[in-house]
Amino acid sequence: MKKIPKYKRDEFTFVSNLSQYTANDKYPNTYQRDAYLLSEHYTNARTVDLARKVKKRRNLLISDNGNYSRMKAVAKQYEQGGLLLLRQAKKEQQQYGQLSNETRLARQQLMREIAQSCQKQVEETNYKKVIQDQLLIRPDYLIGMEDLTIPVLMLCHLMHPIFQPQALAILDYQNNTFQYVKDQQSGRYGSKQGLETVNNFTVLHAYDYDSAYQAGKNALNLAKDGLAISYGGPMHSRRWIDCLRIGGNKIQLSEKLPEAYLIAQTITQGAINGHPTNIPFHILGVGTPILIALIGYQLRHSKAISIDSTAPFKDAFIGKLYGYKNAYLKMDMFKLVAYCLIQDVPFEDKSPFYQSFAQKYEHDWKGLRDKLGVRPNNTVKELASKLRERGDWLQDYLPFFTPITGTLEAAFLQDLRIARAGYNYWVLKQICRKVRAKRSDENAFKRWIERQIDQYTKTASSKWAKAVNFAYLLTEGHRMV
């Protein structure tokens, strides 16, 4: 078994998905990452070679089981049916103040069908080969086998608060995961010797505080190496909610707020309270800057925390850039450029990704300002709208902010993707450094995180700011350790 954490940087680190965009000899800056994750789903000769290369550089290396792709495949079959059922439930709640028995029974039937499909997916998956593929890259951590049902139920809208879901209803699925882990560790799926050389993280699936607490508590005697909390379902939520349930109690919000941040934080707190140890945690699927900081504070008693997400790359692709100088934000690229043009203050950043790109491609802020005829009384919204229409002007004058389309020249597109995704990663790396520096002094850490929340509140949109504030106060109020 390998020591956790092996290096100081592993106490709190963001993990990049291993690919040509994150580890590439032609772009030396890509190797400035601290940790990598490779999904079994993407394991092939090329990625195994990349994994061995970063391993030699002493990067933390994690092997995922590839199940998220399997979950999405199952969810695709039922998502539309679940959405129709949710709409019917909302209609009944609005008209009659309650759900009909017919709707409740239809939900139960759909949940059973999904559970059966998830079970079939597990049975049809060659987990002997999956584990062999995971071990092929000689990882430090390995994400263990898991039941797929809970995330699929969430992706299919069946755990929406309107249905008043109960933690006990998903206990069997959580226990299925624990049994898979026992079977895996016993060698039922082969590779027993190889598995003894890596840290095996047990996956906790939950949809709220109570179900996370239940999972954490029941994993106490099983998860010795580490726990992995799946955020695949919660972070995909686009719902707005006005209540939460914690410890069997209904907590009413004063207004509807975005569910994703609230649920993410309460799930983490439930797992911590259920499993009050310093065990390592891996968070699957969070790349939001402010949440990275909040998770660092929530899990401050854990001896090692790693967080992975494809968000830095996907956000860079759609024009979302991360901020860290004034607040931990996701920024709309067009609004950022518009603000800089109106203020007549060019965007600058010390990250090696931005610096190397800016050295290769000239940026002419004054030229674009003159081209657009920018005036001090222009609004950010107005100017951003113009910039969206003229992506070609951005490419000509400010290439780092070029909208990514299929018409871009291949070499430039590769440079742009690597630079923007790298910049977003770099922001998260700086946040991780800050968190590591604060972990040794809990009082200073608390003051620091509250400062970050305050700065976020002053800058972010009102509803998201309220969600972050409420999530922090809620989890602090229900902290048992």
From the list 368, 424, 423, 438, the residue with the least C-alpha distance to 396 is: 368
Give residue for tokens 């950010």: 380
From the list 435, 131, 176, 406, the residue with the least C-alpha distance to 290 is: 435
What percentage of the chain exceeds 90 in pLDDT?
88
What percentage of the chain exceeds 70 in pLDDT?
99
Computed on alpha carbons and rounded to an integer, the radius of gyration of the chain in Å comes to 23
Q: Do 246 and 272 form a contact (C-beta atoms < 8 A)?
A: no
Q: How far apart are CA 200 and CA 102, in angstroms?
A: 43
Backbone dihedral angles phi then psi of residue 314, each to the nearest 5 degrees: -65, -40
Q: What is the DSSP letter of 208?
A: S
For position 1, what pLDDT does the model report?
56
Report residue 158 as tokens.
């069946």
DSSP structure string for 382-415? HHHHHHHH-HHHHHHH-GGGPPP-TTS-HHHHHH
221 class by beta-carbon count within 10 Å (0-12 exposed, 13-18 middle, 19+ buried): exposed
Q: How far apart are CA 220 and CA 215, in angstroms?
A: 9
DSSP structure string for 20-55? TTTSBTTBGGGGG-SEEEEEGGG-SHHHHHHHHHHH
Query: How much is the average pLDDT of 307-329?
Result: 96
Residue 119 pLDDT grade (very low, low, confident, very high; cuts 50, 70, 90): very high
Q: What is the pLDDT of residues 280-313, one digit of tens each?
A: 999 999 999 999 999 999 999 999 999 999 999 9
Report residue 27 as tokens.
């772009």
Q: How far apart are CA 160 and CA 239, in angstroms?
A: 9
Q: What is the pLDDT of residues 73-111, one digit of tens each?
A: 999 999 999 999 999 999 999 999 999 999 999 999 999
Q: What is the pLDDT of residues 135-187, one digit of tens each?
A: 999 999 999 999 999 999 999 999 998 999 999 999 999 999 999 999 999 99
From the list 146, 145, 143, the residue with the least C-alpha distance to 198 is: 143
Query: How much is the average pLDDT of 386-407?
Result: 96
pLDDT at 342 over 80: yes
For position 85, what pLDDT does the model report?
98
Looking at every residue in the chain, the average pLDDT score rounds to: 94
Residue 224 pLDDT grade (very low, low, confident, very high; cuts 50, 70, 90): confident
Query: How much is the average pLDDT of 28-39?
Result: 96
In terms of residues, how long is the chain?
481
For position 477, what pLDDT does the model report?
83
Q: Are strands 199-204 and 240-246 parallel, antiparallel or unpaired?
A: unpaired
pLDDT at 461 over 60: yes
For position 481, what pLDDT does the model report?
61
The most distant pair of C-alpha atoms in the chain lies apart, rounded to whole Å, by 70
Query: How much is the average pLDDT of 375-386?
Result: 95
